[in-house]
Structure 1
Amino acid sequence: MFLTEDLCVKILDKCPDIQQLKKIHCRLITAGNLASASHIALKLMKAYSECRQITVTRQLFDEFPQKDVVLLNVMIRSYVNNKQYERALHMYRSMFKLNITPDHFTVPQILKACSGSENLWVGLQTHVAVVKKGLHSNLYVGNGLITMYGKYDRLLDGRKVFDEMPSRDVVSWNSLVAAYAQNGLFDDAIEVCRTMIESCSVKPNAGTMASLSPAVTCATSSSNVMFMMEMFVNYVRDSLVSWNVMLAVYVNNSMPADAVNLYLQMESYGIDPDAITVASVLPACGDLSALSLGRKIHEYVKRKRLFPNLTLENALIDMYAKCGSLNDARKVFDEMQTRDVVSWTSMVSAYGMTGDGQTAVTVFSDMQHSGLTPDSISFVPVLSACSHAGLLDQGKQLFKLMTDEYNIVPRLEHLACMVDLLGRSGRINEAYEFIKNMKVKPNDRIWGALLSACKVHANMDIGLVAADQLFQSAPEQAGYYVLLSNIYAKAGRWKDVTSIRSIMKVKGVKKEPGVSNVELNNQVHSFLAGDQSHPQSKQIYEELNIIVGKMRELGYVPETDSALHDIEDEDKGNHLAVHSEKLAIVFVIINTEPFTPIRVTKNLRVCEDCHIAAKLISKIVERDIILRDTNRFHHFKNGFCSCGDYW
């Protein structure tokens, strides 16, 4: 085949793979086209660069007898695109030795090289040079300067360049958004987006969402999340990048239901999830115990052959563990080609959350024997597992192993686990002494663990000490007031309960409402205590009354210590009967086939009365009930709970 110049250009513009490229190169040499058409040689250079064959690109460059600014720009761009920033800067310096003047195509690439190589000094010199040559008003140069200054946290300089630009495009705005976002100034980044939408004809695109992505892990205000959602819906729903960023916003701002709903919408918009999408949505499935959706995503991952992928496999283990499906989590773990510390830690956590502390300790030991070294994070779930399973001696040994053998300085998370371990075991005085001997100042989690233990073991004296510390360090945390109220309520000290409630009212402290979530047909249903907003509320309450009647026949008496108001026992029982987890359990019963397992996730600790009720319901309806609260899993079966009533 005879290669004309036009045909060569067309083929090379299509970015052929390396094998095709080599064949074309050979034919061009044979036909002598390279000698007569320098622009074809430039196309070859670009093509080799895109195939990451930078050595061949440089050979072609060196073969040119006459060097000009175009040739040098192509070589510089090739180095930058292949992240060889120092070589790009070296090529830039050689321009001056050859008396070749950089142009507006050279400068943006050099600014990228300065950002990539952390060479701010050359960037500053370049800025001075472009001002002298009048290139600073060029759109691409301005965009490059904003990006460079953002990389070095020189936001005032970047903003000044932006403000002085005679014209801006969407890249200019996105560069400024990224500058703020990557330096943790999420509110400022959002404000730039607002201004872009309100004051100019440039509209956000997928690059805008990508520019915001470094900051989406930050806690954001509800108004910022709402704005991002509106921007996503109105402008950028056609890009996978945008969907991934929005998923991350929801997940990182504790909005798992929104993340799941967004994921379910992707199919209707013709967007195929990738590995990043899946890794983002799986934690949301775990938070909601959306097991059927998690399994569906798992099947998608296998169908798309996204394995092996350590991040995805770890996310699947975590999702299955949070959904209480240990067998599925273990299957993923066992099938992994390689495992890291995160993989092992996730399995330890999975067993610990379900109350199987002994297996959690065994898996932790297996990790050590595998050759991996546990890190400080690895010790948190194994210590917690010992606490939930009452493995006092093993927990103490592991803490000693962490400090003495691995020389890990205990963090507050480890110390809180030890206080919880001692407290749950009834060693309240020892737990208190442990806190007093700590080398760091105890935080609210540590005092909270002690207060919780005092409630379980009815230790009023130390409980009041812990409560006093909590009200000083975390006066806005309603849960601690409620714990102290429970201690008073258990002792029948209703005046003190009323006093606590009054203090909460004066300080404006509000108890977080209990919310229970269940999944049915890939849709998550949420219930509040006494909730009557659900379309099936009438059926739910009718069935609940029938089940409560059967519970009473088995000897059920409402655990009225769980009610925090000084009211008659009968009224307390009525209040407890409509707790959110009971409504969620009954909802699943009336909407699924007999013997179908029931999975419920609650945002607060399950109360004693609901724990008793769930045991009885599991026996009455002959179903497994898997309930996850903030502390752990409770697997109810035939009238018994996996926690052994120790939680």
Structure 2
Amino acid sequence: MSKISRYHISRANGLKDGRDANRLLFNSVLSSAAAASSSSLPLVCAVHCRILKSGSLDVVFATAMVDAFGRCSELRTARKLFDEMTHRDIPAWNAMLSGYNRNGDLQQALALVRLMFLSAVRPNSVTCSILLQLCSNHGDKSLGRCVHGYLWRHPGIGDNFLYNSLLVYYHNLGHVHIAESLFEEMERRNIVTWNAMMAGYIMNNRPKQALEMFHHLRQEGLRLGLVTLETALHACARVGEEAMVDGQLIHTLFVRMGIPADVYTENSLLLMYCQCGSLHLAQHLFNMMASRNIVSWNILMNGYVRKPLPERAVTLFRSALSILPRLSSDLMVGALRAVKQLHPCPEFVMCYHGLVVVLGFTSDEFVASSLISAYGEHMDVANARRCFDYVFPGNGTTVLWNTLLSVYLHSGYLLEAVEILPLMRNECAMADAVTLVIALSICAQLQDIKLGKAVHGYAVRNNFEGNSFVISSLLEFYSRCLLMSKAWWLFLRIPLRTTTAWNTMIFGCSQNGSPRASLLLFHMMQQLEDVKVDATTVVGVVEAIGQRGYEREGDYIHRYAIEKGFLSNEFVANSLISMYWQFGDLGKANEVFNGGSGHSRATWNAMIAKYSDHGFSETAVSVFHLMKVNNMRPDEINLLSVLLACAKLASLRCAMWVHTNIMKVGCDCDVFVSTSLSDTYAKCGELPVARLIFDDMKLRTTASWNSMIRAYGMHGDVEEAGKLFHKMLSCGIEPDFITFLVLISSCDHAGEVDKGLGYHNLMTNVYSLSPKMEHYSCIVDLLGRKGMINEAFEFLQKIPLIPGTCAWGSLLMACRAEGKIDIALAAAKRLFKLDPFSFGYHTLLCSILSESGRRVDAFEIKNKLSLIPQKNRNMQGLSIVEV
């Protein structure tokens, strides 16, 4: 019991000056008790005893005692006291009803209401308001409408307080249109009415309408209060960057009205600036705050992470370490999310791992989950697993299991992820909807139908079939496993199909070669009122139309995207650009690009990549330059696309310019960008610069080694390519198919037959890699260039695969150089069986025959070739001249 409570009890025991003095004292004590929590129960009991001793327990005091016991969650005592009252007025019934409402006892509250009507007590506005609050808390629609009907039949009891309660009730149920109608019908509206509407709009995810309501309120001339301004600030935070001007206006109103800036108000302002993207203003406000709590630090940290500005988030965390006496787990989670975004070396994550242990957050599942996720983002799966097994032993909650599964999934360790699922069950960690979604994604990538069906069975047995995310994941699993009949069966059984389920089926049909079904689903969606077409839907339909190849359909979906306002979405714009490139309509692709405003990096990259892929390398570089002019900071994907264009141009000047941009944006540490840059310099003839970039790389993948080996092969330096290969092996990097292909190709260019065959034997006998047709073709070309035509022909006849056109074509070209007419005819016969429409190989055979003196046979082939129009020469078959 507090000192104040003991003081009041001592005064109550010592005061004996009459009933009036007692009444004043008891009222004061009960008012204090009403404002306190359950800790004031001893004080209420003491006052109750004193009132009973003084004989002052009239209806007013009894009602006050019922209310006080109800606030202390002592409902049995309150009800006993209520039942013992000889006379109960409407405030007494309201006090008991309020107690049931405050403690969430719906059944007892309803029973009391029935008893109230049986006792012929007419409810007033307070009674109806309590009932409406009770209905809101329990989602009871029928009783709330009965209360509204009672109010309509008895308009005399209606006041602003009751109408405001109705507004709150309908907003809590999500019936915004009813609340709006009620608001329009109200003759008198006070500031609470406007606040209720604004808060209701925010609750139902309509923050823009809440801001419109705020501006209407200002036009009405009502005096704004602290609650109104803070509600408007929350609306600005929910809207985001578009509400920046409104947020600054509200901040100005705070200053003009002289509202004292407490920490709660300043935190609301700080949240608004962070959500609206003005981090510099948020940082300025944070620096000027007279007092900050841990919420202030968390808000600014989350703002930097969301932007994302991970460097500033890490700097803020370091400041918190030196200023705050104790960090919160939320701040630690924010710091780990920033570390996850930074993409430095894994050792940086280990530093924060040490902080987690030192600061005592090893028992916090959310900190643990963020730490495991940070290791996974840096592809350090081993440490992520160790973190799960040793740092947080015994804390294997479902959240941590889900995080570990997600790390395995996104790192490509799918088989290890499958092994985790039974371990999770053995540890008695209950799988939730997130677990099922991750498991189904793993099954879809592995094409593991048996395991996927087992997960489906678990979802059915544990009542997850009503979860929209699980349903969508099941549909995607069956679609990716080519079981569209199962997907259709499941889709048709869904009682309430969400937009996500429709989108999954649209993409599934398109990916399984049924674009017409995707378009039919789209037209069905448009006819349903409860399903809303979103940007993802449009992207799926655009992909389906791209498969069908009908330009009229493409024009239709383009117009639809413009009419519905989807063209500003970067994914829709990118899919339309790709579709028009598929149609070969460069003009309309540019029209989509030029019609958008504020292009994202993805949109710029789509244009750069498409120009580069279709041979317009100079234009791709020009688009990249235009992107820089528009103050768009390039990322790794943009740089990779423009480097590909520079490599095709073989322009050293262009490569050096892109290299400068890579250094400016700090992408030189990215392994993929560095690999592509090294490859570009090699193709531009600057092999020493390419090697210098390669040597400076802190992390090298197999692709990095392959690229550098290929560079030496292109320049004819087989010896250095071999040295690099052996250095690759000494670093513990396993060679792959491409490694041996570039080695054999290097030997081919240099004419090193023995080395080429040696690498072929090393590939098959030591590393147990089965050669592909590209390797066989390269060996044939290698033997043919050295004049070993017979050996090449025998080699092709012995390989386990059926030789393709490339292999026989290489042999045919080698026969021309060596004048081997017999093998040339045999190769041509095999070649034309595989590809009877090849004009180039027929021309090559014609030249071989002519050079060997068989001009009559060559003349017959030329005559047949001349009869075919130029545009159709690759589409018409030619008969083989048997000689």
- Whether these two folds match at TM > 0.5 is yes
Aligned CA-pair RMSD: 6.1
Distance 1:514 1:183, change over 3 A: closer
Distance 1:158 1:260, change over 3 A: same
Counterparts in 2 of 1:200-599, with a 5 A limit? Answer: 200-203=221-224, 205-206=226-227, 223-224=242-243, 227=246, 230-231=249-250, 234-235=253-254, 238=262, 240=264, 243=267, 247=271, 262=282, 268-269=288-289, 270-273=291-294, 281=302, 284=305, 288-289=309-310, 292=314, 300-302=327-329, 331=387, 335=392, 340-357=397-414, 359-372=416-429, 374=431, 377-378=434-435, 381=438, 399=452, 401-403=454-456, 410-411=473-474, 413-414=476-477, 435-436=512-513, 441=518, 465=547, 476=567, 477-480=572-575, 501-502=589-590, 504-505=592-593, 508=596, 512-513=600-601, 530=628, 562-563=644-645, 569-570=651-652, 572-574=654-656, 576-577=658-659, 582-585=663-666
Instruction: Please name the residue that 2:752 is paired with.
Output: none
Q: Which deviates more, 562-571 or 303-312?
A: 303-312
Distance 1:503 1:102, change over 3 A: closer
| Cα drift, residue 140 of structure 1 | 0.7
Instruction: Please name the residue that 2:827 is paired with.
Output: none
Q: Is this contact kept in 2: 1:345–1:378, CA < 8 A?
A: yes
Distance 1:621 1:569, change over 3 A: closer
Instruction: Please name the residue that 2:194 is paired with.
Output: 173
Please give the secondary structure, in 2, of the residue aligned with 1:436.
coil
Alignment of 1:161 onto 2:182: yes
Q: Is this contact kept in 2: 1:562–1:608, CA < 8 A?
A: no
Instruction: Please name the residue that 1:32 is paired with.
Output: 52
- For 1:167 and 1:329, the matched residues in 2 are separated by 63
Instruction: Please name the residue that 2:876 is paired with.
Output: none
| Cα drift, residue 241 of structure 1 | 8.7
Deviations 1:518-561 (A, max 9, x none): xxxxxxxxxx9748979xx9xxxxxxxxxxxxxxxxxxx99866
Alignment of 1:14 onto 2:32: yes
Distance 1:578 1:302, change over 3 A: same
Q: Is this contact kept in 1: 2:125–2:159, CA < 8 A?
A: yes
The correspondence for 2:115, drawn from 90, 94, 97, is 94
Q: Is this contact kept in 2: 1:181–1:189, CA < 8 A?
A: yes
Instruction: Please name the residue that 1:609 is paired with.
Output: 676
| Cα drift, residue 231 of structure 1 | 3.9
Instruction: Please name the residue that 1:150 is paired with.
Output: 171
Report 1 or 2 for greater relative contact order, CA contacts < 8 Å, sequence distance ≥ 6.
Answer: 1
- For 1:641 and 1:201, the matched residues in 2 are separated by 73
Q: Which deviates more, 167-176 or 357-366?
A: 357-366
Amino acid at match of 2:166: L
Please give the secondary structure, in 2, of the residue aligned with 1:201.
coil
Instruction: Please name the residue that 1:192 is paired with.
Output: 213
Amino acid at match of 2:644: S
Equivalenced residues, count: 549
Amino acid at match of 1:112: Q
Instruction: Please name the residue that 2:67 is paired with.
Output: 46
- For 1:645 and 1:446, the matched residues in 2 are separated by 39
Please give the secondary structure, in 1, of the residue aligned with 2:293.
coil
Q: Which deviates more, 196-205 or 136-145?
A: 196-205
| Cα drift, residue 143 of structure 1 | 0.7
Q: Is this contact kept in 2: 1:177–1:192, CA < 8 A?
A: yes
| Cα drift, residue 67 of structure 1 | 1.0
| Cα drift, residue 196 of structure 1 | 1.8
Distance 1:123 1:512, change over 3 A: closer
Deviations 1:560-598 (A, max 9, x none): 66339996734542553355x643327xx9xxxxxxxx8
Please give the secondary structure, in 2, of the residue aligned with 1:116.
helix
- For 1:399 and 1:382, the matched residues in 2 are separated by 8
Q: Which deviates more, 183-192 or 469-478?
A: 469-478
Q: Is this contact kept in 2: 1:232–1:242, CA < 8 A?
A: no
Q: Is this contact kept in 2: 1:514–1:529, CA < 8 A?
A: no
Deviations 1:96-136 (A, max 9, x none): 43343333333321222233344444444444544565545
| Cα drift, residue 63 of structure 1 | 2.9
- For 1:25 and 1:561, the matched residues in 2 are separated by 81
| Cα drift, residue 69 of structure 1 | 1.6
Larger strand share, 1 or 2? 1
Please give the secondary structure, in 2, of the residue aligned with 1:52.
coil
Distance 1:368 1:74, change over 3 A: same
Amino acid at match of 2:676: D
Amino acid at match of 1:583: K
| Cα drift, residue 176 of structure 1 | 1.9
| Cα drift, residue 195 of structure 1 | 1.3
Q: Is this contact kept in 2: 1:320–1:329, CA < 8 A?
A: no
Deviations 1:581-635 (A, max 9, x none): 643327xx9xxxxxxxx899xxxx979737979998796385999xxxxxxxxxx
| Cα drift, residue 183 of structure 1 | 4.4
| Cα drift, residue 94 of structure 1 | 3.0
- For 2:393 and 2:627, the matched residues in 1 are separated by 42
Q: Is this contact kept in 2: 1:111–1:123, CA < 8 A?
A: yes
Deviations 1:132-162 (A, max 9, x none): 6554552211211222333445545433433
- For 1:209 and 1:583, the matched residues in 2 are separated by 42
Give the % identical residues. 15
Larger helix share, 1 or 2? 2
| Cα drift, residue 17 of structure 1 | 5.3
**Structure 1 unaligned residues grouped into runs of 5+:** 420-430, 453-461, 489-494, 516-527, 538-556, 590-597, 626-638
Please give the secondary structure, in 2, of the residue aligned with 1:300.
coil
Q: Which deviates more, 272-281 or 25-34?
A: 272-281
| Cα drift, residue 172 of structure 1 | 0.9
- For 2:230 and 2:479, the matched residues in 1 are separated by 38
Q: Is this contact kept in 2: 1:380–1:417, CA < 8 A?
A: no
In the superposition, the TM-score normalised over structure 2's length comes to 0.48
Q: Is this contact kept in 2: 1:146–1:158, CA < 8 A?
A: yes
| Cα drift, residue 192 of structure 1 | 1.6
Please give the secondary structure, in 1, of the residue aligned with 2:222.
coil
| Cα drift, residue 36 of structure 1 | 0.7
**Structure 2 unaligned residues grouped into runs of 5+:** 1-9, 16-21, 332-359, 461-469, 483-507, 523-534, 562-566, 604-625, 634-638, 681-689, 702-730, 739-883
| Cα drift, residue 197 of structure 1 | 3.0
The correspondence for 2:98, drawn from 69, 77, 90, is 77
